[in-house]
Structure 1
């Protein structure tokens, strides 16, 4: 059975026509098809093996993809080939072909750096859908960010009956999905040209300019939430950008966009450095990353569901020299709202709490907890010292529970309602939103 699978490889890889359309031929094929001199053949061979530096990476990857296909054809009669090896070879060729295909669609006459991140590995898509299905009900809606070639989209459509809203801002990729997937699932799939990752930016535009068109277009297709204990909205995709979680924190705090009427659940592939940033409880030099992770853990629960090899995504993340292949795999995580925060901090205090934690954790190394708090309420240090606060202790030395206890004690002080904290918090929100009434 292994040999048949190798022989049928070209039929299984749907995107191989993209490679063939580029007109690549081996040196021997060029020799047979043209009557050229030995010097011309040498030039052709050098063009393939030693291309110009501007196109070397692209040409080499195309050559590797074609040579791999030809090698697989030659292995058809090899009795030593193993079924597992066939799977690995098939996966490798498929991902190479899809990489070339998405690069062709993304570029416009020249090589460009992708602004989004795409799933190319079918097994990674199957892993996500397998963990998503138990959390789905018939009325739930699935939002996908930057579907690209539709690898995850097709897996969702084939394995669930839920409506899938795919947000693809790139015109060529969206056109490709309209031609391939939309005719197969016309009642289940919707394609939109907005960038789902800019949800907080659309809200900021509505505040600063009063233009709510983009925000309304983003939120209009979403379902109404009648249940308080679960969300009918599932958002799936992949992101390498830690700023996404910064925006997610702010969206939760301001109770805007998705969180205005519901609490979506996210199923995302994220790289190891972003995962460590969100989960690490130990401070190590990077105070902005530590602050982001600490605030995130107050607002959200993160559950690790699985992992996927880094070469199954485009663009592939680079592996650090000290990391093993397993350590460089992307993590599949489930991110959901932490309902405990509503009992610990009042919803009307979210903005103040967010600013309080941010200000403490971003304080300079030579500052202490007491000096930071006394800038808001002078001579309040003894009130915290009698509860066990260290005179020379830095805020980043405290655990999340201790920071929450400091916030509660701070807001319970008699001078708190008249302190400078409120004015500084208001200035922070005005600067963030560009709105004077913030």
Structure 2
């Protein structure tokens, strides 16, 4: 029986073969219920009018608007109408291609480019199912952003966003992509290799509640993921509530903030299956916080590990926990304003970052459980 290595070798040398076709079918089956798109033209138009000033702000000849899972091209057309930037869309569902090609003919090849792949496969790792090399896939997605595009780690070269990514995230896929954004930003790769890029995301309300949840040792929504998101990203809710949009748009109060929610009736799977989920969505903008551009990758990676490891002990007293690992740090942490009575699950994102920034400077940090957990 052929092992996995032999299967991969066979796939490399049998393009168009039955094996390659089976890999493709497996890929399509696996992704068929992951990717959703906006199908309401009024919502798309309202959204693009709302951010029209941002779409062309500081854009240059090498900047792109990217859209993942455009589906019917409803949002795509509005982005083309309300900006002068180039747009690159990623759609692997073949039956959607005629809709997108019509838009391409209407607005011109110099404005729109269609890629027959899924940019979100960076997060899922599905590009491996097609035996695609990661760097080739990277170049396919991000190539052309500047004249000397490379895998440079000099992240101070491009202070302005090289691209803005638009997509709707299914309830199944949202956590996977957002976790990957954390992974990508701390390593300055994939979505952040070319600069401090921005994201406009229709996010399931269940995921949004996790992103904005408050400290509590027993609240399951408040996790290491929450702290990572709030430390590394600035988040803005985009309000679409309007008397003009009565179909599936409403207001809701979350964490003492009013947000407009968009019902699932406004979305569809890109493979034409009906979107049966009752999950509502909130439209947000994510962008990396300014300090990220000044940090070394190793420092940020250490921080992500530090938070994850600490939250495995969220019911422990915070000061006692870190004092045991870093003897003598109690006075310093209290001096930072950390209450002696707080548990790890009570610490805010800012407090967690303060503690990390202090203990990371200590000489024995490199031999701690946080460093060894990499």
Same fold (TM over 0.5): yes
Aligned counterparts, 1:25-424, within 5 A: 114-135=33-54, 136=56, 137=59, 139=61, 140-178=63-101, 180-187=102-109, 188-200=111-123, 211-223=134-146, 228-240=158-170, 241-283=174-216, 285-287=218-220, 290-307=223-240, 308=249, 309-310=262-263, 311-314=265-268, 315=275, 317-318=277-278, 328=280, 330-341=281-292, 346-365=296-315, 367-370=316-319, 372-373=321-322, 376-377=325-326, 384=333, 393-424=342-373
Once the two structures are superposed, residues 101-123 of structure 1 have per-residue CA deviations (whole angstroms, 9 ceiling, x without a partner) of xxxxxxxxx9x963211101111
Question: Relative contact order, CA 8 A, sep 6+: which one is greater?
Answer: 2
In 1, distance between residues paired with 2:82 and 2:334? 58
Separation (CA, whole Å) in 2 of partners of 1:144 and 1:123: 18
Q: Deviations over 1:278-312 (max 9, x none)?
A: 12234374547532121111111111122343121
CA distance in 2, matches of 1:361, 1:341: 22
Partners of 2:222 and 2:216 in 1: CA distance: 9
Q: In structure 2, the residue corresponding to 1:125 is in which secondary structure?
A: helix
- Pair 389,144 (structure 1): closer, same or farther in 2 beyond 3 Å: closer
Q: Are the structure 2 counterparts of residues 231 and 388 from structure 1 closer, same or farther at C-alpha, using a change threshold of 3 Å?
A: closer
Distance 1:113 1:420 in 2: 40
Q: Which secondary structure does the structure 2 equivalent of 1:212 belong to? A: helix
- Which structure shows the bigger proportion of residues in helix conformation? 1
- What secondary structure, in the 3-state scheme, does the structure 1 residue paired with 2:235 have? strand
Q: Which has the larger radius of gyration?
A: 1
Q: Alpha-carbon deviations, 1:370-426, whole Å to 9, x = none?
A: 4543564467556646766556632111122221221122123343344443222x3
Greater CA deviation, 219-228 or 129-138? 219-228
Higher share in strand: 2
Structure 1 residue 173: Cα displacement? 1.6
CA pair 138-278 structure 1, distance change in 2 beyond 3 A: same
Q: Does the 8 Å contact 1:287/1:361 carry over to 2?
A: no
- C-alpha offsets along residues 131-187 of structure 1, whole Å, 9 cap, x if unaligned? 332121353311001010111112222332221111002122224423x32322332
CA contact (8 A) 2:212 2:226 kept: yes
The alignment partner of 1:183 has SS state of helix
Q: 2:19 maps to which residue?
A: none
- Counterpart-to-counterpart distance in 2, 1:331 and 1:141: 24
Task: Report if the CA contact (8 A) 2:314-2:345 is conserved.
Answer: no
> Normalising by structure 1, what TM-score?
0.60
Q: 1:113 to 1:194 in 2, by over 3 A?
A: closer
Whole-angstrom distance in 2 between the partners of 1:133 and 1:282: 36
CA distance in 1 between partners of 2:134 and 2:167 (Å): 28
Is the CA contact 2:69–2:167 (under 8 Å) kept in the aligned structure 1?
yes
Q: Any idea what SS the aligned residue of 2:165 has? A: strand
Checking the alignment, whether the CA contact within 8 Å between 1:148 and 1:173 is kept in structure 2 is yes
Deviation at 1:269, TM superposition (A): 1.6
RMSD over aligned Cα atoms: 3.3
Question: Which segments of 5 or more consecutive residues in structure 1 lack a partner in the other structure?
Answer: 1-109, 320-327, 427-438
How far residue 203 of structure 1 moved from its aligned partner, in angstroms, is 11
- Contact in 1 for aligned 2:227/2:348 (Cα 8 Å): no
What TM-score do the two structures reach when normalised by structure 2? 0.70
Q: Secondary structure at the match of 1:293?
A: helix
Contact (CA 8 Å) 1:200, 1:251: kept in 2 or not? no
Q: 1:211 Cα deviation (Å)?
A: 4.9
